[in-house]
């Protein structure tokens, strides 16, 4: 059968294929001859390309791998790490049998994404894309430095924010000390008075506040110090440290990568058109607790991978009404590849659908197969808006509430009083 995806990088080696390569003595210069007694080993007429020691090490690793090569076990390297860029839910490692009968492994969104994020990505695709990106970082110094520059700018901002917070804490501390001083001297000057117990209570409270202030100051100060050290480190040194860790990681077996991935990748999210990745800082995890990231990037998904997603294609083709040609240009693939994908996902539509599509689909509805159908998620929001209104909230407050919940308008914008009023009016007239 012809490979479904004619992209050279996506042709896969099977698990058994890799096992065969890893256990073949051909690579240590040995020829195996099948005889009636079994297999006889003779020196090959070629040079070994790996050493005996490496071969033995690989064998050891394989024997410790547990289930044999026929087992359907799969190493979901990004399990527990990869999330949806839209709603931040963790994507789960899953497997399933495709139409061709081949087992596929992928990371999938639990349920449907309420924010319309991508549903899934094949595990191998994700692994390969990240590995390629990492490999590029480790050899392409110029590219790395570009990312570093952006990161430095972001961290510089964070450092300034930290310093101004520290200053504020300093002022607060001085004020607390003064109040504490006043409270204690006054109670000393009036021993035995009725207010003494009260003052002591106040002093205790002030002491407690001072301790909290000190703790926070200490924490932020060490964070600021770390950050200053980090920002003062020269680019070449930073590049080297990342480079070493990346190279170590890439060499690992998939099984080991599962465990080590958290030491290298801080976040990995599947977005609309790419994987967003943030690296853990070379000095270890302490930095990353405060969300300080020096190196981050978006790995653009190749067009052929995007086309595997029905959700993505439906959005461009049906919701946005783009032509196959426009989609092909946008994601950099051939027009026939797009048409094939549309057929494969069952998204082909009758040509007159296009003409019938109303200029503006009202909130609460989707335009599907030539007609308006209720959108469940949007109808839910309309109900919520009506309830809030019935509870006496102002249009402005409702709009602010929606924006806080990161719910976007039909056109993907933010809410204001007018847009809220519009859906209230419409839902009112349609319910009559």
Contact residues toward Zn ion (CB under 5 A) are: 84, 86-87, 113, 117
> Token match 């994404």: residue?
113
Q: Which of 125, 119, 168 is nearest to 311 (CA)?
A: 119
Kindly state the smallest distance separating residue 45's Cβ from Zn ion, in Å: 57
SS3 374: strand
Give CA–CA dist 81/62, Å, rounded.
Answer: 26
The H or E element that residue 54 is part of is helix 52-63
Measure Cα distances from 97 to 77, 103, 308 in Å.
20, 4, 15
CB nearer to Zn ion: give 82 or 420.
Answer: 82
CB nearer to Zn ion: give 26 or 87.
Answer: 87
Kindly state the smallest distance separating residue 119's Cβ from Zn ion, in Å: 9
Q: How far is CA 34 from the centre of its chain?
A: 51
Measure Cα distances from 222 to 61, 140, 160, 303 in Å.
41, 33, 14, 45
CB nearer to Zn ion: give 76 or 239.
Answer: 76
Measure Cα distances from 220 to 18, 206, 211 in Å.
49, 21, 14
> Token match 């930073």: residue?
238
Q: How far is CA 363 from the centre of its chain?
A: 29
Give CA–CA dist 421/399, Å, rounded.
Answer: 10
CB nearer to Zn ion: give 82 or 227.
Answer: 82
Give CA–CA dist 198/193, Å, rounded.
Answer: 10
CB nearer to Zn ion: give 113 or 294.
Answer: 113
CB nearer to Zn ion: give 6 or 88.
Answer: 88
CB 85, CB 115: distance < 8 Å: no
Q: How many CB atoms lie within 10 A of CB 278?
A: 19
In the chain, the N- to C-terminal Cα span, in Å, equals 58
Kindly state the smallest distance separating residue 150's Cβ from Zn ion, in Å: 26
Kindly state the smallest distance separating residue 322's Cβ from Zn ion, in Å: 23
Give CA–CA dist 365/101, Å, rounded.
Answer: 37
Kindly state the smallest distance separating residue 288's Cβ from Zn ion, in Å: 23
The H or E element that residue 255 is part of is helix 254-264
Kindly state the smallest distance separating residue 120's Cβ from Zn ion, in Å: 11
State phi, psi for 270 to the nearest 5 degrees. -95, 110
Give CA–CA dist 219/210, Å, rounded.
Answer: 14
CB nearer to Zn ion: give 108 or 328.
Answer: 108
CB nearer to Zn ion: give 9 or 376.
Answer: 376
CB nearer to Zn ion: give 56 or 88.
Answer: 88
CB nearer to Zn ion: give 86 or 127.
Answer: 86
Kindly state the smallest distance separating residue 115's Cβ from Zn ion, in Å: 5
Kindly state the smallest distance separating residue 312's Cβ from Zn ion, in Å: 13
Kindly state the smallest distance separating residue 111's Cβ from Zn ion, in Å: 9
Kindly state the smallest distance separating residue 280's Cβ from Zn ion, in Å: 24
């Amino acid at each position: 059968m012809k490979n479904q995806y004619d992209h050279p990088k996506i042709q896969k080696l099977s698990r058994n294929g890799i096992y065969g390569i890893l256990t073949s003595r051909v690579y240590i210069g040995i020829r195996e001859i099948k005889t009636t007694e079994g297999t006889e080993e003779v020196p090959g007429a070629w040079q070994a390309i790996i050493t005996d020691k490496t071969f033995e090490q690989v064998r050891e690793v394989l024997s410790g791998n547990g289930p044999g090569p026929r087992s359907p076990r799969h190493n979901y390297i990004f399990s527990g790490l990869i999330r949806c860029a839209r709603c931040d839910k963790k994507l789960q490692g899953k497997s399933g049998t495709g139409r061709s009968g081949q087992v596929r492994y992928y990371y999938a969104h639990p349920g449907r994404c309420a924010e319309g994020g991508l549903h899934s990505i094949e595990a191998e695709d994700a692994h390969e894309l990240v590995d390629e990106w990492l490999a590029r970082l480790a050899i392409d110094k110029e590219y790395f430095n570009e990312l570093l520059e952006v990161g430095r700018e972001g961290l510089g901002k964070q450092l300034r924010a930290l310093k101004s917070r520290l200053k504020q804490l300093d002022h607060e501390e001085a004020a607390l000390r003064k109040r504490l001083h006043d409270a204690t001297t006054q109670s000393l000057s009036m021993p035995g008075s009725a207010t003494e117990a009260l003052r002591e209570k106040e002093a205790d409270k002030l002491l407690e506040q001072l301790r909290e202030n000190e703790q926070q100051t200490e924490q932020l100060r060490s964070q600021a110090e770390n950050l200053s050290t980090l920002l003062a480190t020269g680019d070449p040194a930073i590049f080297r440290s990342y480079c070493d860790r990346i190279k170590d990681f890439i060499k690992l077996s998939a099984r080991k990568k599962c465990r080590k991935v958290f030491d290298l990748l801080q976040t990995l999210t599947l977005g609309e058109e790419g994987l967003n990745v943030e690296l853990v800082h070379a000095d270890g995890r302490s930095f990353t607790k405060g969300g300080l990231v020096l190196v981050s990037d978006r790995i653009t998904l190749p067009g052929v991978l995007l086309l595997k997603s029905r959700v993505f294609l439906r959005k461009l083709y049906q919701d946005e009404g783009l032509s196959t040609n426009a989609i092909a240009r946008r994601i950099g693939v051939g027009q026939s590849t797009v048409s094939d994908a549309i057929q494969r996902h069952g998204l082909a539509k009758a040509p007159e659908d296009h003409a019938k599509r109303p200029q503006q689909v009202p909130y609460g509805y989707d335009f599907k197969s030539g007609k308006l159908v209720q959108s469940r998620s949007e109808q839910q929001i309309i109900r919520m808006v009506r309830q809030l209104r019935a509870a006496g909230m102002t249009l402005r407050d409702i709009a602010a509430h929606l924006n806080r919940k990161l719910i976007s308008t039909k056109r993907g914008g933010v809410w204001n009083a007018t847009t809220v009023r519009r859906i209230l009016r419409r839902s009112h007239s349609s319910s009559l």
